[in-house]
Amino acid sequence: MAVKLKIRKGDRVKVIAGRSKGRIGDVLRVLPAESRVVVSGVNVIKRHTKPNRGETGGIVEREAPIHVSNVAVIDPAGTDKPTKVGFKILEDGRKVRFARASGETIDR
């Protein structure tokens, strides 16, 4: 069952728990069915791959998914501090995400 996540592709997040705690990266992929996200430069694993058509084999480093509870969106106000995300409805009727720490909207 897919759940509604407050983190989206392209968000700048900070890892708040686990092996990569403290690292900052951008969300590359969101996996709502598993409640996981793939963050650039975080939770890097080594994958031993066989050579395929057009690709050489060998040891490839890539990012593995990390649970969504272990990351927090970085406040867009300019600080590199994590913040909780809330939703609010603007005057024109749009529903947007905002940073609870500063009140600034996150959506573009």
Domains, the chain, ordered by start: 12-49+57-99 (2.30.30.30)
Q: How confident is the model at residue 1 (pLDDT cuts 50, 70, 90)?
A: low
Judge whether 38 and 64 are in contact, CB under 8 Å.
yes
The percent of the chain in helix, strand and coil, each rounded to the nearest 5, is: 5, 45, 50
User: What was the pLDDT predicted at 31?
Assistant: 95
Nearest to 27 by CA among 39, 35, 16: 39
Q: What is the pTM of this model?
A: 0.85
